[in-house]
Amino acid sequence: MRKDNKENIGWVPIFGDFEIKEGAIRFRGKHILASTSDEPPSAEGKEKGQAMVGFLLSSLTLADGDLSAEVEFENVTSETICELAVSYDLNARHIVTAGLGGDPGMMFTIRELGSPRNIGPGPWLYHRFGGDRTGLQPKKKYKLEVHFRGTIVALDINGVTVAMTTDVFPPMGRSRQVGIFCKGEHLITIHSFKVNALKPKAFVVMKFSSEYDDVYNDVIKEICKDYEVSVRRADEMMGPGFIISDIAYEIESSQLVIADITPTDNPNVYFEVGYAVALRKPTILLAKNGTSLPFDIAGFRVLFYENSIGGKSKLEEGLRRHLNLILSATSI
């Protein structure tokens, strides 16, 4: 585990009015008037417009781990929002957020902006939402914690897990910048912003036998150790429960999957590879030289290897090349 929280965090307000002072972050929200002045005022007598939106980007990055902060609202309206941005991709213009507000009627949400799977009318893809916004109270501190594991995002409020999804757009193993998303007409104060980065995790799929154990122990484990990637295989899992559920969770919570698809008559391996592909999980396929691949796999890039000293060296080189691409710091 790596503690990546730093005292001197760099901050850049992408938009909105933020003040960073004495360890506290203050979003100074206000009402933004509409561009035309001839529109009639609202029923409350307020001129047409909307609450200010703010996004504060930090210098910290996260591939897998946790975000936390304490949030306090000066006042709460139907537009008040404070979320932790657990993944920001500048190149793809994509953000994953979780926190308080997010939807006019809800207390909390987990959502994505810029998701390629969003076919709805609005810009946001909502994964989870709930609670009653009337439960949000001004002058009360809320502790937000967001846990990010592969494609799993879980949101805790004051120590209680209130939402979880396994369907966020995959981060492709790369570290992404984190930050704070706010919206409102009043002051929002954020204290104790912290990041706890964890080692990336690879789930390994292969037949359990001595001839494949050598590839797992001598090549995959050793190379992943060089990249500070933790490795796990299904036969290393312990405890009660359904094996298939445990395997599904391991794939969902991993940054990437490494699969040896020889022999081709092993349905378990192909089921797990299929699930990883369905989740758009970065998947590195290995196979012994001479393996005749099924039609559905033949179009994928596969690292072919042979059981020899030279073959091991080539497999190591290929595996490093794939890991360099998947775990590169940026998506550009």
Q: Using one digit for the tens of pLDDT, what is the confidence trace for 290-309? A: 888 887 777 788 999 987 77
pLDDT at 41: 60
pLDDT at 234: 85
**What is the CATH code for 11-197?**
2.60.120.560
Name the packing angle between helices 267-278 and 243-253 (round to 10°): 40
Q: List where CATH 2.60.120.560 sits in the chain.
A: 11-197
pLDDT for residue 193 is more than 90: yes
The CATH classification number of 201-326 equals 3.40.50.450
Per residue in 60-112, pLDDT (tens digit) is 988 889 999 999 999 999 999 999 999 898 877 889 999 999 888 899 999 99
| 173 against 133, higher pLDDT | 133
CB 144 within 8 A of CB 71: yes
CA distance 30 to 27: 9
Residue 310: CA count within 13 A, CB half-sphere: 1
Q: What percent of the chain has pLDDT above 90?
A: 56
Whole-number pLDDT of residue 235: 83
Token representation of residue 61? 């990055």
Q: What is the mean pLDDT of the chain?
A: 87
Q: What is the pLDDT of residues 115-158, one digit of tens each?
A: 888 887 889 999 999 999 999 999 999 999 999 988 889 999 99
Please state the three-class secondary structure of the chain as a single string. CECCCCCCCCEEEEECCEEEECCEEEEECCEEECCCCCCCCCCCCCCCEEEEEEEEEEEEEECCEEEEEEEEECCCCCCCEEEEEEEEECCCCEEEEEEECCCCCCCEEEEEECCCCCCCCCCEEEEEEECCHHHCCCCCEEEEEEEEECCEEEEEECCEEEEEECCCCCCCCCCEEEEEEEEECCEEEEEEEEEEECCCEEEEECCCCHHHHHHHHHHHHHHHHHCCCEEEEHHHCCCCCCHHHHHHHHHHHCCEEEEECCCCCCHHHHHHHHHHHHCCCCEEEEEECCCCCCHHHHCCCEEEECCCHHHHHHHHHHHHHHHHHHCCCCCC
Answer yes or no: is pLDDT of 2 > 50. Answer: no
Numbered ranges of CATH 3.40.50.450 in the chain: 201-326
Lowest mean pLDDT among 129-133, 168-172, 254-258: 168-172
Q: How far apart are CA 299 and CA 278, in angstroms?
A: 16
pTM above 0.95, yes or no: no
